[in-house]
Amino acid sequence: MISIIVHSGEWDRIYHAFSIATTYSAVGEKVKVFLTYWAIDTVVKDRVECGDERKNDVIRRGIEKGSVKGLEEMVALGKEFGNLEIVVCSGSMELLGYGESDMPPWVDRVGGLAEQLMNAEKVIFI
């Protein structure tokens, strides 16, 4: 199993983590994306924030034109192959004041870092 740990809250980094996960899923690899800290904040608030206004505008225009998929679409694509699971860090969720009901519907469950590390053959940190 591949574990992709996403710490960054920058939308483009989360997008690329989901893109990598979708590709792994498409080639038959089991993959878990573990959202922690600022990544959780970004997906709960469903906002495009990439570090500066120019990047934000480029991504927003791409989404509007359909040349860039939204995060929900990327996750749905990866899940079509049956090998992708999205897990949210329980500790980060608590620290940020979120509950399970605050999570987007495409989040599969809440879990911990130890599980991600113990079951992974490879770990990618973003």
Dump pLDDT digits (tens) for 60-114: 999 999 999 999 999 999 999 999 999 999 999 999 999 999 999 999 999 999 9
Which CATH code of 1.10.420.10, 3.30.2000.10, 3.40.449.10, 3.40.1260.10 fits the domain covering 2-125? 3.40.1260.10
- In angstroms, the Cα distances linking 37 to 30, 34, 48, 67 are 23, 10, 16, 28
Q: Report residue 119's pLDDT band, with 50, 70 and 90 as the boundaries.
A: confident
Domain boundaries, the chain: 2-125
What pTM was computed for the model? Answer: 0.94
pLDDT above 90: residue 51: no
